[in-house]
Amino acid sequence: MSEKYSVIGKNVHRVDGTEKVTGTAKYTFDIVLPNMLYGKILRSPYTSAKIVSIDTSKAEKMEGVYAVVTAKDTIHKKQGIWRRFPELCDEEILCSTKVRYIGDPVAAVAAIDEYTAEEALNLIEVEYEPLPAVYSQLEAIKEDAPQVHDGVELNINVTRHIEWGDVDEAFKECDVIREDHFVCSSQAHMCMETHCAAASYSYDGKLTVWASTQASYYTQVLLAGMLGMREGDIRVIKPPVGGGFGGKFELDSAQFCAALLSKKICRPVRIVLTREEEFTATKRRTPIVYTSRIGAKKDGTILAKEIRGITDGGAYTGMGATALYLTGFFSSFPYKYPNYRYDGYRAYTNTEPTSAMRGFGAPQAVFVGEQQIDLIAKDLGIDPIEIRRINGMVPNYEVPGQAFIQSCGLHQCLDKIDNYIKGRGKLPANRGIGVAAYGFMSGGIFNWFDTPYAFSSAIVKLSIDGKVDLFTGACDIGQGSDTTLSMITAEELGVKLSDIRIHAADTAICPADLGAWGSRETLMNGNACKMAAADAKRQIIEFAAAKMGVNIVHDLDIRDGWIYLADRPERKVSYYDIVREAIRGRDGETIIGRGHYTPHRKGMISPAYSFGVQAVEVDVDPETGKMKLINVVTAHESGTVINPIGITGQLEGAIMMAGGYALCEDQPMDQGKILNPSLADYKVIRSLDMPKTEIIEVDTYEPEGPFGAKEAGEGLTNPTAGAIANAVRNAVGVTITSLPITPEKIFMAMQEKKAKEKKAK
């Protein structure tokens, strides 16, 4: 027992591995229930219009059509995930009087097959009266802009203010001040499995929903509200999910319409959104325009930052309000700004709603912040790594009034990246390395959803043979939480990973969990699982101590299936035997361990933060502006590594996604219409475009996390766009302040630079 841990930190096969590589994993997309119907949703072709009338009679009469629903079939409620704030619950899902973007649902059909359902949509006659519309946040906040939601002044949906220190005074003391403007674009989650749900309402008034969701608990609760049902009568099951990335934890049109249709006719209904619907009628990354002012002393100490962000909210609130908050908070990361001010505004527009997406406002903040740090370093004549060292966060740092940071390995990461860059030596012409530093949260503390439950809970149940059933509401959406949580449970209980069978995210049998977002599962649910395992372990040890007749001065522990005296490991009994005897000894009562976790006294944002620094090397074609990603090196720390293969996968995947955000992923619009709603036109990084990746793990230990672990996955999306922008500047001397960084933008900026230089001569 020389190594510290038996299970965690080891390379293991994921617990869902074999079913995924053999094609036997059944996703929501694959579910076929007896007597099931297929649903399709009719959506608004207008960006803004009054619904004058909807005539569904022809569709209803069509052979093979079993139900048609519109707003008339609902209980006329509006929903939103910010439940604490009724004014932010603004989405009917099935629109009653007004549509607000191209894709807003107006009706849904259940039919014998998808062909029939789609044909039936063509028979629904909707009379619209087009209304004036507004398509960008800067237009939306003008005095005379059309109103997206009645009574919302200047279309301002939410505002956010964060401030500490005395920013105005501090700027007076700065030697260098610069102000820059940045534009961050949208991005599609582009989950491989589109949004889908199968709903089955029974004659006895119970509803079961299989959903491709990141938070089965949210789906359950929000559906209950929208259907006028009790939460307990709704069971939401999350089968394997084909990706989420922030796009699947709000109630969506597939879930709601499938449930509503099923409730109307007591037959199962499955709805799978098409790829086009996925692009145009779900949610997307929040586009933001920023003005950022930063001031520093000659020695590189940054005294003040003042940043304003205006986000394009699209038609509804969703999780967009949180993105507005987090982009303001993470604009202060990972530096010790003594004086800081953020003003954020979220404006409604007549476009597809914007919301959470991996990084949650932070990739945008880092694109802005890390470019500006490089720019001011240049103004000051200070090395980019050095200025980050001077100002970087340290362990036990308090973000004034906001957050308390315990573990922080930023400086070690900076050292590693510094060494790497120095090791590369002089680069050829038109090559450049750019750096970006970042920090990210391990789950959110904010409870705008107003859940009365603990944020995470877990139950461990032991079988007579010592095998373990783990019940938790955590949602594995591909990131691997089922494996991580099973590893934590196995480690704590002292059994093999193969002894654990996890049952996750089925609201009828698992305790509530807020789901997979904000990088919360490892820390929050991990703590709950660890506590549940510890609870079960305590019960076994009680029995073992009595059975072994151990002097009470000794501590017992369990590891690798043995219960032993901590200071005399040779005195041991089999865990499996003891469990069998313990259950018999307790009159057959099942051994159940319970655990839960809610952060307390950890500030306003998150109980823990992870940090990292990324260096990206790019090569720019000076004649065309085409940029190639050569290598991405990331030094990062995420506390104790639970599942190393999982972290590598998260990191490389983050580079694919964040690199895409920087390079090619965008959703350009013409008057509110997304111009590339197909994978032929929406470009994502593929294997030939993917750069080499290197990971440098930095050791830290997070006291708040299970076995010292914290976030590893979402934060890794943050640095890449900023690092690439810095790399382009270092390669060819141009600053690109808007995303994505296309060859055309680089080319045009280079032309402009040449023209300026010529003029200067």
Instruction: Scan residues 607-666 and list those touching other proteins (CB under 8 A).
Output: 623-624, 626, 645-646, 648-649, 651-657, 663-664
How many residues in total does the chain contain? 761
Residue of 282, 356, 351, 349 lying closest to 324 (CA atoms): 356
Residue choice 96, 430, 463, 693 for contact with other proteins (CB under 8 A): 693
Q: How far is the CB of 520 from other proteins (least distance, A)?
A: 18
State which of positions 68-127 bind other proteins (CB under 8 A): 102, 114-115, 118-119, 122
547-606 positions binding other proteins, by CB under 8 A: none
Among 328, 494, 677, 706, the residue binding other proteins under the rule CB under 8 A is 677
Site for other proteins in 345-404 (CB under 8 A): none
Determine the interface stretch with other proteins among 20-28, 341-349, 390-398, 599-607 (rule: CB under 8 A): 20-28
| Interface characters, 178-207, with other proteins (x: CB under 8 A) | ------------xxxxx-------------
| Bridge partners for 697 per DSSP | 636
Which residue type does 158 have?
A: V
Residues 6+ apart with CB under 8 A from 29: 193, 194, 196, 212, 242, 272
Assess 719 for contact with other proteins (CB under 8 A).
Answer: no
- Please state, as a whole number, how many other Cβ atoms lie within 10 Å of the Cβ of residue 64: 16
Query: DSSP string spanning 126-184?
Result: EEEEE-----SHHHHTSTTPPPSSTT-GGGEEEEEEEEES-HHHHHHT-SEEEEEEEEE
Taking the C-alpha atoms of residue 272 and residue 274, their distance in angstroms, rounded to an integer, is: 6
- Asked if residue 744 binds other proteins (CB under 8 A), the reply is yes
Q: Does 3 bind other proteins (CB under 8 A)?
A: no
Binding-residue pattern over the window 33 to 72 for other proteins, x denoting contact by CB under 8 A: ------------xx--------------------------
Beta carbon of residue 16, minimum distance to other proteins (angstroms, whole number): 7
Residue closer to other proteins, measured from CB, 28 or 331: 28
DSSP-assigned beta bridge partners for residue 568? 565
Residue 132 binding other proteins, by CB under 8 A: no
Whether 77 and 86 have beta carbons less than 8 Å apart is answered as no
Residue 274 touching other proteins (CB under 8 A): yes
**Is residue 685 at the binding interface for other proteins, with CB under 8 A as the rule?**
yes
Q: Which stretch binds other proteins (CB under 8 A): 25-33, 290-298, 386-394, 425-433?
A: 25-33
Question: Which position among 450, 542, 681, 757 is part of the footprint of other proteins (CB under 8 A)?
Answer: 681
Q: Which is nearer to other proteins, 421 or 654 (CB)?
A: 654
Which residue in 4, 20, 77, 84 binds other proteins (CB under 8 A)? 20
Residues 198, 268 contacting (CB under 8 angstroms): yes
Total site size for other proteins, rule CB under 8 A: 85
**Nearest CA among 414, 86, 100, 75 for reference residue 227:** 75
Which of 201, 210, 245, 290 touches other proteins by CB under 8 A? 245
Minimum CB distance to other proteins, residue 170 (Å): 41
Short-list 241, 273, 299, CA closest to 477: 241
Minimum distance from CB of 112 to other proteins (Å)? 13
Contact with other proteins (CB under 8 A) among 139, 343, 379, 689: 689
Q: How many C-beta neighbours within 10 Å does residue 462 have?
A: 25
**The binder of other proteins chosen from 1, 4, 26, 168 (CB under 8 A):** 26
Residues in Cβ contact with 268 at an 8 Å cutoff, skipping those fewer than 6 apart: 33, 34, 35, 36, 37, 198, 199, 200, 262
Q: For residue 708, what is the DSSP state?
A: G
Q: Using CB atoms within 10 A of its CB, is residue 761 exposed (0-12), middle (13-18) or buried (19+)?
A: exposed
Q: Choose which of 1, 4, 5, 17 interacts with other proteins (CB under 8 A).
A: 17
Contacts with other proteins, 461-490, as mask; x by CB under 8 A: ----------------xxxx----------
The kind and range of the H/E element at 70 are strand 65-70
**Binding other proteins by CB under 8 A: which of 1, 5, 18, 129?**
18
Establish if 242 lies at the interface with other proteins (CB under 8 A): yes
Nearest CB to other proteins, comparing residues 286 and 742: 742
Q: How far is the CB of 30 from other proteins (least distance, A)?
A: 4
Q: In what order do the strands lie in the sheet with 468-472?
A: 500-504, 468-472, 456-462, 592-597
Residue 614 is inside which H or E element, if any? strand 609-620
Spatial distance between the Cα atoms of 296 and 177, rounded to a whole number of angstroms: 7
Tell me the window of 6-14, 224-232, 494-502, 576-584 that interacts with other proteins (CB under 8 A). 6-14
Contact partners, residue 187, CB within 8 Å, separation at least 6 = 284, 285, 357, 660, 661, 665, 666, 667
CA geometry: angle 526, 531, 532, nearest 5 deg = 100
Among the listed ranges 520-528, 535-543, 682-690, 753-761, the one in contact with other proteins (CB under 8 A) is 682-690
Least distance from other proteins to the Cβ atom of residue 190, Å? 6
Among 96, 451, 463, 676, interactor with other proteins by CB under 8 A:
676
Least separation, in Å, of the C-beta of 166 and other proteins?
A: 44
Cα–Cα distance measured from residue 492 to residue 329, given in angstroms and rounded to the nearest whole number: 34
Q: Quick one: which segment of 323-331, 370-378, 438-446, 744-752 binds other proteins (CB under 8 A)?
A: 744-752
By the rule CB under 8 A, 743 interacts with other proteins: yes
Structure token pair of residue 616: 């990206």
Please tell me whether residue 498 binds other proteins under the rule CB under 8 A.
Answer: no
Q: How far is the CB of 306 from other proteins (least distance, A)?
A: 35
Site for other proteins in 419-458 (CB under 8 A): none
Closest CA to 563 of 576, 580, 546: 576
Beta carbons of 442 and 523 less than 8 angstroms apart: yes
Measured from the CB atom, the residue of 163 and 652 that comes closer to other proteins is: 652
User: How large is the angle between the packed helices 384-391 and 362-380, nearest 10 degrees?
Assistant: 110
